[in-house]
Amino acid sequence: MTDQGPTAGPLRLGTRGSLLARTQSQLVADSITAATGRAVELVIVRTEGDDVSIPLDAPSRPGAFAAALRDALLDDRVDLAVHSFKDLPSAPLPGLSVAAIPPRADPRDALCSRDGLSLDALPRGARVGTSSPRRVAGLLRARSDLQIVPIRGNVDTRLRKVRDGDVDAVVLAAAGLQRLGREAAVTEFIDAGIVLPAPAQGALAVECRTGELGSQMAAIDDPATRLEVTAERSVLSGIGATCTTAVGALATWIGKDELKLTVEVSNHRGIVYSRISRAGRVTIAGEATQLGAAVCDQLAADMS
């Protein structure tokens, strides 16, 4: 099949079934249609990560949110799949390529608390809901008195736990709340100086079979976002991170062609906590990867 990909009927775009996933996928579908004229239909794919019956303390399942979508691509049940890029494993999967990375939304974490309280203003011993090792590490660095409550579910489920008093606050990705029109629930956008976001947080990845649809998806690809997330995600493979590794990374432009990459790692291979920033000229993916590698080299020194 040529790079033009399937031509009969609308493009089939695989998505998870949650409201956030469908909202994000519809945004991508609309942008594809606007840029290429191709009709796009959403195909709901249930993923293992959606199974809330699995205990929170069960062994982690790398790529649980992405695996079923990738299977659907490889089996030709869908033509494209949309992932929250932070949920996509860092190792590429043979036969698949990230054909487009649309412009990134707000990469920060957001605190959603009762009574509009900020992180500093939460009462001593407040119960904060999150199951992210990265967020747990950052929150406890800022407030060692907090009680962390493992939590799972979609955005509304987590916000309901705050309203019902099960927890005093939850931490969610700002981008998801913004895309759902739920910014009013945010009581504080957490500064990156307190907790760095997950690598590629706020970005979406549009994946397809290698050799198909690449030229068409280029129309919705944002080069600046692609370079940012390439630098951030290169750290994951560089330090051998897993989905239980507490690692944050954020790349920001400090000039037309200069990217600053800040990374923090907690409780990883002898590192109690390390935060490193490096800057360099980045105009192509290889230079973004090199910037990430330079940070990893420094982290490796800390681990030795």
| Catalytic annotation, residues | 87
**What span, in angstroms and rounded, lies between the C-alpha atoms of 224 and 226?**
5
Q: Which amino acid is at 107?
A: P
Strand ranges across the sheet with 188-190: 147-149, 127-129, 169-173, 109-113, 188-190
Identify which of 100, 128, 138 has the alpha carbon closest to the alpha carbon of residue 263: 138
Q: Which amino acid is at 229?
A: V
| 288 CB-side CA count, 13 A | 20
Enclosing H/E stretch for 249: strand 246-253
Beta bridge partners of 12: 41
CB proximity list for 239: less than 8 A, separation 6 or greater: 245, 247, 265, 268, 269, 296, 299, 300
| 109-130 per-residue burial string, b: 16 or more CB within 10 A, e: under 16 | bbbbbeeebebeebeeebbbbb
Written in H, E and C, the secondary structure of 48-83 is HHHCCCCCCCCCCCCCCCCHHHHHHHHCCCCCEEEE
**What span, in angstroms and rounded, lies between the C-alpha atoms of 244 and 78?**
30
